[in-house]
Structure 1
Amino acid sequence: MLKVSVLAMTLAGLCCQAAYAQDAKKTAPAKAPAAAPAVSEELFGTLKKVKDSGTITLGIRESSFPLSYLDANQKPVGYHIDVCYKIVDAVKKRLKMPDLKVAEQAVTSQNRIPLTTNGTVDLECGSTTNNADRQKQVAFAPTTYVTNVKMAVKKASGITDINQLGGKPVATTTGTTSVALMRSNEKGKGIDFKEVYGKDHADSFLMLETDRAVAFVMDDNLLLGLIASSKAPQDYAIVGSPLSVEPIAIMLRKDDPTFKAIVDITVKDLAKSGELNKLYTKWFLSPIPPKGVNLNFPMSDALKNVIAAPNDNPAESYKR
């Protein structure tokens, strides 16, 4: 009997405890939901820098036709300028800062990487080749243009190929990969040409224009734009087989996955929606400032493939 009584008392006690717990739940004040963390507490890297400063800075080129260049009013315009402003819109939305200021900083082939890595510019919106060596220093958006590296000459020179450049001055732009490509090209091996450097693409083309160089080696789209904007477009030709096929992309700082995700998603959405095709038509197949020249430069199969399946693969992954 004693054992049964003890068991009964124990069960009764447990029932009382359970009932008390239920009452406590009913009478205890509701727990306030955890406050959402402030936006700034979630941010780091470029997004934090941009939010704290209230400004996002674009690195622009002054003569990278038709990707990034200055119009008659010295305003940056071009295919990659438009792409970068689409990314800026995505950043404004992410930060809930519709009035975010946009600054534009001119960069050159020589200083574009240092100015990106040191935080001076947040997006480099020019004509930069994505290659394995540069990927050690910076990151790239999915490719938005694919170029062939070729050479522009004056028609009167009679030059049609790289093997005719022996002993002659050849222009290229400081900080680009063009001369290295010429040296490594099978046809270029053993040819003793003289390298002359322009500080930017316009300066390099001026060397060709004033006969300080017999050829200017650069991306075909840049050559085409410079020729179209020159005083006598009919005097020039783009000749020779391609020295290289290279992916061109918006550049940003490395090891910043949150910001890169915004950039990548924006570019992929532009590709998927058909907006990239529209921008290409605007800048490569329509009259463009400052002279209203139409480059009439159809989209290459290589670029069509990249738009169909966006990626940030380096130049080394492309067929040579």
Structure 2
Amino acid sequence: MKRFTLLLSALFLLLATLPCTVMADTLSDIQDAGVLRVGMEPGYMPFEMTDQKGQIIGFDVDMAKQIAKAMGVKLELVSTAWDGIIPALMTKKFDMIMSGMTITPQRNLKIAFANPYIVVGQSILIQKKYGDEVKSYKDLNNKKFKVGSKLGTTGEQATKRMIPDAKYISFETEQEGVMDLVNGKIDAFVYDLPYMAIANAQKSEGKLIFLDKPFTYEPLGWAIRQGNPDFLNWLDNFLAQVKNDGTYDKIYNKWFLSNDWVKKLQQ
């Protein structure tokens, strides 16, 4: 009987400690550390890019600053290559991803997303000589066309899925793809609308045509590790707050409705 009582006491003690283990959440870890670590790849205008001083700036950066301010912690930006950004999050190299990441079912199997903070879609830049022939992505679905996008992105996925007959060319960066398009090495480049609008204005040199009607629906979201309900709830509530108190609109207007930030970029 005494042995049974001791066993029962040990069981109760174990059950009493389980909730603390199960409910451990990244949100509390951030508060304890006093630092929010955010992973991003600084190459996606105007979400995150590097200025002339080597600092990362952009829409996502300003939103990250607001998140850290609301938490009462410092902000640390962790520059990370795109093809390794999800594994880096999962191995706790940082606390969350804020890098213009599209929410997809495949990604959602590995990581959790807060509610979308902006919705974009894939658009197309084509060589000017194809202006009369190519009016949409459907017209590019021909083996005579070389169509590029960035490696590991939804632009690549959309091109392979929706323009399968074209010859696909993969690029490490968006800048390389647009430059090859300007130089006539490819016929079209597929990528997210915000970046393409800026690239067309800055780099087309009168040689390109911008097909600016998105042909995909892509909500972008902040990503965190799975199993963090408190953190996820906090981010959703934060987003709702800033979208209704004017904070979001102020940051959006700065990066999407103004070109003042362009002069700060590396030349």
| Alpha-carbon spacing, 1:83–1:168, altered in 2? closer, same or farther (3 Å) | same
**Structure whose alpha-carbon radius of gyration is higher:** 1
Report the AA paired with residue 247 of structure 2. Answer: E
Task: Indicate if the aligned counterparts of 1:91 and 1:262 stay in contact, CA closer than 8 A.
Answer: no
CA distance in structure 2 between the aligned counterparts of 1:241 and 1:51, rounded to whole angstroms: 42
State which of 271, 277, 295 in structure 1 corresponds to 2:249.
277
Say whether 1:80 aligns with 2:60. yes
| Counterparts in 2 of 1:207 and 1:107: CA distance versus 1, 3 Å | farther
Alpha carbons 2:103, 2:219 under 8 Å: kept: yes
Letter in 2 for 1:164: L
- 1:210 maps to what in 2? 183
Amino acid at match of 2:252: Y
Structure 2 residue aligned with 1:120, among 79, 93, 96?
Answer: 93
Q: Whole-Å Cα distance in 1 between the matches of residues 264 and 30 of structure 2?
A: 36
Query: Equivalent residue for 1:15?
Result: none
In structure 2, the gaps of 5 or more residues are 1-19
CA gap of 1:157–1:241, structure 2 versus 1, over 3 A, is same
Deviations 1:149-170 (A, max 9, x none): 1111232443433323523221
Q: Is residue 146 of structure 1 aligned with residue 126 of structure 2?
A: no
Cα 1:227–1:71 change in 2 (3 A) is farther
Distance 1:161 1:217 in 2: 11
Is the 8 Å Cα contact of residues 117 and 221 (structure 2) preserved in structure 1?
A: yes
Which residue of the partner structure matches residue 152 of structure 2? 175
Aligned ranges 1:103-252 → 2 under 5 Å: 103-158=76-131, 159-162=134-137, 163-166=139-142, 167-185=144-162, 188=163, 191-230=164-203, 232-239=204-211, 241-252=213-224
Judging changes above 3 Å, is the alpha-carbon distance between structure 1 residues 183 and 73 closer, same or farther for their aligned structure 2 residues?
same
Distance 2:23 2:212 in 1: 49
Return the alpha-carbon distance in structure 1 between the equivalents of residues 122 and 160 of structure 2: 13
**Which residue, out of 249, 259, 262, partners 1:287?**
259
* In 2, Cα distance between equivalents of 1:214 and 1:148: 20
Change (3 A) 1:233 1:75: farther
Q: Is the 8 A contact 1:72 1:289 kept in 2?
A: no
- Following superposition of structure 1 onto structure 2, how do residues 79-98 of structure 1 map, counting pairs within 5 Å? 79-92=59-72
Alpha-carbon distance between aligned partners in 2 of 1:201 and 1:78, rounded to the nearest angstrom: 16
Rate the CA distance shift 1:138–1:271 in 2: closer, same or farther, 3 A: same
Q: Percent identity?
A: 21
C-alpha contact (below 8 Å) 2:64/2:75 kept by paired residues: no
CA distance 1:233–1:90, shift in 2 (3 Å): farther
Between the aligned partners of 2:188 and 2:199, the Cα distance in structure 1 is 13
Aligned length: 242
CA distance in 2, matches of 1:153, 1:212: 11
Please state how far the C-alpha of 1:292 moved relative to its aligned partner.
7.5
Structure 1 gaps, min length 5: 1-39, 93-99, 294-320
Query: In the alignment, is the contact (CA less than 8 A) between 2:182 and 2:207 conserved in 1?
Result: no
When structure 1 is superposed on structure 2, of 141-150 and 175-184 the one drifting more is: 175-184
Report the 3-state secondary structure (helix = DSSP H, G, I; strand = E; otherwise coil) of the residue aligned with 1:208.
helix
Residue 179 and residue 118 in structure 1: after superposition, are their counterparts in 2 closer, same or farther (change >3 A)? same
Question: Which has the larger displacement, 101-110 or 250-259?
Answer: 101-110
